[in-house]
A and B are shown apart, each in its own frame.
Chain A
Amino acid sequence: MTVATPTKTQYEAVIGLETHCQLSTESKIFSASSTAFGADPNQNIDPICAGLPGVLPVLNQKVLEYAVKVGLALNCEIAPYSKFDRKQYFYPDLPKNYQISQYDLPIAQNGWLEVELLDEEGNITRKRIGITRAHMEEDAGKLVHAGSDRLSGSTYSLVDLNRAGIALLEIVSEPDLRSGQEAAEYARELRRIVRYLGASDGNMQEGSLRCDVNVSVRPVGQAEFGTKVEIKNMNSFNAIQRAIEFEIERQVAAIETGETILQETRLWEENSQRTISMRTKEGSSDYRYFPEPDLTPIEVSPEQLKQWESELPELPAAKRKRYEEELGLSAYDTQVLTDDRDVAEYLEATIAAGADAKQAANWVMGDVTAYLKESKLDIGAIALKPAILAELIDLIENKTISGKIAKEILPELLEKGGSPKKLVESKGMTQISDTGAIESAIDEILAANPDKVEQFRSGKTKLQGFFMGQVMKKTQGRADPKLTNQILAKKLQG
């Protein structure tokens, strides 16, 4: 992103993201306690995650599987030999005074993902964002500051270790991002990928996806980076975008007025829509990493890697490409339809059951999505199964019913399912495509409205809509609209 300034210096922002993603395992990364969200404080604790002496952590197999699968989905190299390390720091939410993480031999490195940026006119820009690394680590607990809702006013703190030891995958991007929009889109794509894999629910409100952002600005053309500032505490994609945009403006303004940018951590304040200084980093932190002696190294065999690779689903970027190229859908429709894997698979099942792709896409994005929002159901839970939707679309295509009738019977199909064909038959709603029947209906209408016929013939052609409406009313909407229009036009000409 470039920012124009009065002194004509053009700036660009350099942005990288560190994303912590909670993996969807049942138990913790090194112990058997539950990872269920929302339990009472300290319900899901055990001697290992509470950091008692003499315990032995053992890696959860599922954590390794998810980490490798996410790594593969991010086009990373998977380390043939990987290990865990201790990262030492002191904070009350970290019971051992060190976090088990991965330092110099992370499970995945050197990957990329592709973001698709859509402007208001529907034009697409695609950009590859480098992934530096992804590594496994344990989450810390949660602090509640008693005596005040602010840290500064509290007299003591309360610690809940339910979250301590939940498996995280930290995914670090290259500083390839240049705007708040790009960063937000990167985070969205990352969430799509982990959700497609079932590796994480990616819920930002519950903290299963947390993004820390590094932002610096520099004059365009300057090779070295400016001083980077870390921003935290964004709990939506929009907040990521807005926090970065605010921070870019703040830094450019500071440089313009001759201030020095401090290397620090700032918090995004949702209420005031700004970032505030949290603390100044004293040099780079000295975490004194050393290899975790309680955990064995990890060697992913080529056979295992192949097996996991074969289990990867078609990923969002590949789906988007296929929908555009094979199904002929627009970039916008494609983005909407592939955002959620279940929705995409529903659409694909509908098409596989014989429905026209564009028709199916329209129904899924329109009425079906509206119903999902209203009923708060997942697409897999609704009674309107893909085969039923395909049958409904087919009834319209072969002119058994009109689109209007289809919309009329849709609520019942959404609620109860069943065969659309039988439903329209039992209700006598099949489309009238018999020319004779339509002609006689039109004749009756024309005979009943001689004055309007006269007006039409003397130039008031807008009245065709009135006649059309009358025919539809007479046939309870069952007359084939196209055929009716043709015959009506002919008869009105006289």
Chain B
Amino acid sequence: MSIDREQVKKVAFLARLELTETEEEEFTGQLSSILDYFEQLSELDTENVAPTTRAIDVSNITRADIVESYRDRDAILNSAPDREGDFFKVPKIGQEED
């Protein structure tokens, strides 16, 4: 087993997910089998292969610095659970963190 229950708890906490005990148990098994599956890759010799972050060999895609206003800002505001006037409204913030 490549991941234990404590690690699952930590990852859940970092992702702000609330898991039941049953779920913790279930995900520990599932995540382990996924990780084990990927573990197969380590059979390959990658010593002389540079790390890559993407499968497609493309770089430097940029856009010109031109302003174009989005037409439907109201739709964005309305898609949030709650708004107040021009603002998104969110619950009271507890302990600060970032």
Residues of chain A touching chain B, judged by Cβ–Cβ distance below 8 Å, are: 25-27, 32-34, 40-47, 50, 52, 58-64, 81, 83, 88-92, 94, 143-146, 151, 154-161, 278-279, 285-286, 288, 291, 293, 295-299
Contacts and interface: CB of A to CB of B under 8 A. Distances in A.
A41 B85 contact: yes
Interface residues of B, number: 35
Nearest to B58: A296
Contact of B67 (A33, A64, A154, A159): A33
A22 B16 CA distance: 30
A210 to B, nearest CB: 14
Nearest to B84: A158
24 contacts: A33-B67, A43-B86, A45-B70, A46-B73, A47-B76, A59-B62, A60-B62, A62-B64, A64-B62, A81-B59, A83-B53, A88-B14, A90-B16, A91-B98, A92-B88, A92-B93, A94-B98, A151-B93, A154-B92, A160-B87, A278-B96, A291-B53, A297-B53, A298-B60
Contacts of B88: 42, 92, 158-161
Q: Is the interface of B mostly helix, strand, loop or mixed?
A: loop
Nearest to A282: B97
Contacts of A146: 84
Most central of A50, A143, A151 by chain B CB within 10 Å = A50
A65 to B, nearest CB: 9
Contacts of B14: 88, 286, 288
Contacts of B31: none
Given A41-B86, A83-B53, A58 B63 contact: yes
Nearest to A295: B61
B5 interface: no
B66 interface: yes
Contacts of A88: 14
A40 B86 contact: yes
Nearest to A297: B59
Nearest to B77: A42
Contacts of B63: 32, 58-61
B82 to A, nearest CB: 9
Given A89-B98, A279-B97, A296-B54, A41 B65 contact: no
Contacts of B62: 58-61, 64
A27 B61 contact: no
A295 B63 CA distance: 12
Given A47-B70, A59-B63, A157-B90, A52 B79 contact: yes
A279 B95 CA distance: 8
A158 B87 contact: yes
Closest 9 CB pairs of A and B: A158-B87, A291-B53, A46-B70, A62-B65, A32-B68, A41-B86, A159-B88, A61-B62, A92-B90
Given A33-B70, A45-B70, A89-B97, 11 more contacts: A32-B67, A41-B87, A42-B73, A59-B63, A60-B64, A64-B62, A151-B93, A154-B92, A156-B92, A160-B88, A296-B59
B69 interface: yes
A27 B16 contact: no
Contacts of A45: 70, 73, 76
B54 A299 contact: no
B23 to A, nearest CB: 20
A146 B61 CA distance: 41
A27 B79 contact: no
Given A47-B76, A158-B89, A26 B69 contact: no
Given A42-B88, A156-B90, A60 B54 contact: no
A191 to B, nearest CB: 22
